[in-house]
Amino acid sequence: MNKIFLSQINKIKKDSIRCSKNKKKSLNESFNIDTENIFFDYSRNIIDSKTIKDLTKLAELIDVKDNFRRLCSGEEVNLSEKRQALHPAMRETFHSLSKDTQNEIKKHKALLKKISNEVNSGKRKSFSKKKFTDVVSIGTGGSYYGIKMIYESLKNYSAKNINLHFISNLDSTESNDILLNLKPETTLFIIVSKSFKTVETLENAKRVKRWLLKNTNNQDIMKNFLAVTENKFSAQKFGIEEDNIIKIWDWIGGRYSLWTGVSIGLIIAVGFNNFSKFLKGAYKGDKHFFQRKYEKNIPVIMALLSFYYTRFFKAQTHLVLPYNYRLRFLKEHLQQLEMESNGKSVDKNGNNLTHISGNIIWGATGNCSQHSFYQLLHQGKTFIPSDFIISSKTDSGSQDNHDKLFSNYLSHIEILNTGFTKNEAIDLYEKKFSNLGLNKNLVVKNLQLSGNKPTNAFLLKDMSPETLGVLLSFYEHKTYVLGLLANVNSFDQWAVEIGKIKANDIYKNIKDSKKANKKSKNSLIKKYLS
């Protein structure tokens, strides 16, 4: 990093010391950003106006918007793999792209619309000439987490005649459980693998193929398959017809691929129109990110605050708490998005990093987790910044129930900020616990909370496809800005590749040991085979 950037870092370090010593927990009402779909309140953070001014200066120094312009224009931003990262173009684009790329994207979307409409209308039929009632998406990583999360989030919008299932795990227990309740003659299987070489995906695809052959008297089962891949040759070799192959490109990374045909199972389930609204929402998030000033830019502020706590408060985790059952799988998607993107030990140029570039992302549905780890959140000594997420409207049908849910959401946000003083603890003891024969001093001590625990509050307009698109694009841009701040490549994942290679070597070792009837030198393999 250059000297100006480092000088700004030192300013922010002084801000963090000053703010952490300030025990006054009054809210700065200007620390919120309102959009059509999302109200973002960051007033309960360990910051003041000077901190925000100094943090946004960092965004200027790394020129966030120019970097995003270059990404959207098709420059090679994934340096280690010599690739573009053009996923925003799947939403729309407001920067120049080649006509060929634009036409490819238009054709891609047209194909997704055609396939989803054909399955839903019954025009596209199984080998049995029957309509499809179930769709199984076979994929892992970026071909699974985001898509499953969106499907569960938008389940209220899904077609009543189509059930969507997912097979991701190499553990065959998962596929066994899912196949148990499916009918071969009415189930469409979608193999999602960019390379068509992903071990988990191919093994599950082969398993499904064997299951179909076993239960269909060797009929034309390949009519029940679609493939989403860059490797058309291998998909055809597997037996999938060319017309049933959806092409994706090398400029779409796995964890950024949910905007593409990788989501075809989801698109069939919720309908292309709803998926288009989801893309529209993401595009609104893109415009917000590119057009808003940094101090009124939600993903930029999200990223700067995360950087601030990691760098100066030694935070190692970030907690995501959706007070919405539909968003219960959000954390899995964000785990892959942030941890795979920015969990690096070297910068873009291959130099060793001296600071943490990626946090552990974790979480659970808000109300349930109040009865598990909130004790640690409020009173534990671990420093944990948090995102609290809720919608104004509910699709549950019970507004009173939702009011109670919102009350729980806000109560913990406020207590994490203000704490619970000794006088408040004494008052509570006298009102509720004084007649129980307990040690007053001990109870009062345990009731006290220090507060000053940082939170971001997200209030969503609703749980519509559009609002979800906005929310996910905000988290995507947050991840991108964090990558720029750490000077890492947010679009590669070399450690994952090493894991795949090592697993293959161990598998060969196991097979060789069995074949030659000789003991492996590895103690775990030896015990496994004993």
Smallest CA-to-CA distance from 278 within 35, 37, 34 is with 37
289 close to 299: Cβ distance less than 8 angstroms: yes
Strand residue runs (E) in 199-283: 225-229, 245-247
Cα-to-chain-centroid distance, residue 299: 14
**Helix pair 298-312, 3-21: axis angle to 10 deg:** 80
Distance set, CA 251 to CA 88, 92, 102, 347 (Å):
11, 15, 13, 21
Check if 340 is active-site: yes
431 close to 362: Cβ distance less than 8 angstroms: no
Catalytic residue among 371, 431, 515, 527: 371
Catalytic residue among 500, 502, 514, 526: 500
Look-up of token digits 């988290």: 475
Backbone phi and psi for residue 301, each to the nearest 5 degrees, phi listed first: -65, -40
Structure tokens at 246: 């959806």
Beta bridge partners of 165: 136
Question: Positive or negative CA dihedral for 392, 396, 402, 406?
Answer: negative
Q: Give CA–CA dist 441/408, Å, rounded.
A: 28
- Looking from the CA of 213 toward its CB, the CA atoms found within 13 Å total 7
CB atoms within 10 A of CB 100: 8
Q: Give CA–CA dist 408/270, Å, rounded.
A: 31
CB atoms within 10 A of CB 287: 14
Structure tokens at 94: 């407001």
Backbone phi and psi for residue 323, each to the nearest 5 degrees, phi listed first: -90, 60
Strand order in the sheet with 455-460: 32-34, 38-41, 455-460, 386-391, 317-322, 360-363
Q: Give CA–CA dist 524/500, Å, rounded.
A: 18
135 close to 188: Cβ distance less than 8 angstroms: yes
Beta bridge partners of 57: none
Check if 378 is active-site: no
429 close to 444: Cβ distance less than 8 angstroms: yes
Catalytic residue among 200, 338, 340, 466: 340
Q: Give CA–CA dist 205/509, Å, rounded.
A: 24
Smallest CA-to-CA distance from 450 within 408, 411, 416, 413 is with 416
Smallest CA-to-CA distance from 138 within 211, 232, 201 is with 201
Q: Give CA–CA dist 458/390, Å, rounded.
A: 6
Three-state SS string over 92-157 comes to: CCCCCCCHHHHHHHHHHHHHHHHHHHHHHHCCCECCCCCECCEEEEECCHHHCHHHHHHHHHCHHH
Check if 371 is active-site: yes
474 close to 286: Cβ distance less than 8 angstroms: no
- Looking from the CA of 495 toward its CB, the CA atoms found within 13 Å total 10
Hey, which residues are catalytic here?
340, 371, 500
